[in-house]
Amino acid sequence: MGAPEVFYEPRDGTLYLSWGNVSHWYGIAPTLAIGVDDDERLTQIRLSGLTIPPRRGKSADGMKIARPPARVVASPPMKVILTRDFLALILSVAVVGLGSGATLPLTALALAQAGYGTDVVGLLTAAQAGGGLAVVPLAGWIAARFGGRQVIVGAVLVVACATALMQLTANLWLWALLRVLCGAALMLLFTIGEAWVNQLADDASRGRVIAIYATNFTLFQMSGPVLVSQIAGFTQGRFLLCGAIFLLALPLLAAIRATPHASNEEHAEHSGWRRVLPRMPALVIGTGFFALFDTIALSLLPLFAMSHGISSEVAVLFASALLLGDTTMQFPIGWLADRLGRERVHIGCGIVVVALLPLLPWAVGSPWLRWPLLYVLGAAAGAIYTLSLVACGERFRGVALVSASSLVGASWSAASFGGPLVAGALMKTVGHDAVIGVLLCAALAFLVTAWWERRRIALRAAS
């Protein structure tokens, strides 16, 4: 291995030592990653969170330098959250979260008021998930072909129009088609939005930045059902109002100055989802676990609590306790990941979930035990998802990052659709405690896969 070419990118404070092209990145520390080629040979080293002063009379923008600089200054911590681009991006995605958080329960309410049963509600929910899954193989190509900002704006317009059109017809087939369009558009929007946030963050603060994004989105999405409670009686225009909410994201998107760099021609052949998926099994399974956890918390956990003698008024608060832990603890856990290393904290959260889940049937009857347990359980489970997004930003760049984000979204859609069906059937045949077994198996699958990934990286580094 000869002398490397040294390249500095001042826009994100990253220094590269390159011996060749990269097929895959491995995060070693919060600010250090190594890149390998298809044969797993070291080809690049990436250091993040740096500021290199430009040479006199020359611009530092993308300059190549013959040797490492004599003086390297650490970047100001968390500088990305103070930028207009970041604030506008997370607020625009949060507005979409508010709209989607309102549209789903409003659709279920409208169907129930029209006399349809839960089977029809489930089919329309599945239609939206199906639309999201259908667009996953094309997400990276669409982002590279049309540009991140244009795709997000187009997705917002599609979701707004499809939601508003539900006000103008009562035909179930048309509603199903509109939900498919919404699912595809939302998948593109969240995929590119998450990749965009990852590009704005540097490795030194990525855990906290992604935590802010996830917390902000969750808070807005949780406000959706509250909005529905206020507009449910406005039958002549409630879907029109929900559609208009999505349009509020457009001025925020227009305020963003820099566009995401979705195109990466140099490594495009390594950026398709078929090439990306084998490099992120733990991230896909971790996302699937939290999607299952989130869906079960809202739908089946109250039934589990009532089977243990808890009143319905208290049982519905179980989900609130879990979501409270998820919402309030993501930033502290993100900070911990930035300090101790993402992988270590990620696995630690999985261990906490596996340790606490079997205690839930025993602790459910004691208020002194159940509320702290639910709070910590929600925090650890939510962090598994948040840190999966962080890991995507550590490992991938350009089109590969968009493909990775789309796989995360696909995992969420598949788990939130199929998981409750399996858990509900087991609760009916085996008993209500079966829901804990389903969640425990999913958490163990994440831990085993994360351990396997870590061991694989260690063996390749040793060889």
Question: Could you give the CA distance from residue 444 to residue 150 in angstroms, rounded to a whole number?
Answer: 40
Residue 266: predicted pLDDT? 42
Neighbours of 71 (CB within 10 A): 7
Helix (H) or strand (E) holding 424: helix 398-429
Q: What is the pLDDT of residues 406-418, one digit of tens each?
A: 888 889 888 877 8
Residues 6+ apart with CB under 8 A from 70: none
Closest Cα to residue 210, out of 229, 196, 193, 197? Answer: 197
In this prediction, the residues of the chain whose per-residue pLDDT falls under 70 are 1-13, 17, 19-34, 36-43, 48-82, 118, 258-273, 298-299, 460-463
Residue 3: predicted pLDDT? 59
Q: Are the CB atoms for 286 and 346 separated by under 8 Å?
A: yes
**% helix / strand / coil in the chain, to the nearest 5?**
70, 5, 20
Domains and their CATH numbers in the chain: 5-74 (no CATH), 79-263 (1.20.1250.20), 267-463 (1.20.1250.20)
CA 310 vs. chain centroid, Å, equals 33
Residues 6+ apart with CB under 8 A from 82: none
Helix (H) or strand (E) holding 335: helix 317-340
Residues 6+ apart with CB under 8 A from 243: 99, 159, 160, 161, 162, 163, 164, 165, 167
Collapse the DSSP code of 47 into the 3-class scheme (helix H, G, I; strand E, B; otherwise coil) and give the result. strand
Beta partners for 42? 36
Collapse the DSSP code of 73 into the 3-class scheme (helix H, G, I; strand E, B; otherwise coil) and give the result. strand
Residue 146: predicted pLDDT? 86
- Plot region of 411 (φ>0 → left; ψ -120 to 50 → alpha; else → beta): alpha
Q: What is the pLDDT of residues 46-82, one digit of tens each?
A: 776 555 554 444 444 444 443 344 333 344 455 555 6
Q: What is the pLDDT of residues 311-343, one digit of tens each?
A: 877 887 888 888 889 889 999 999 998 888 888
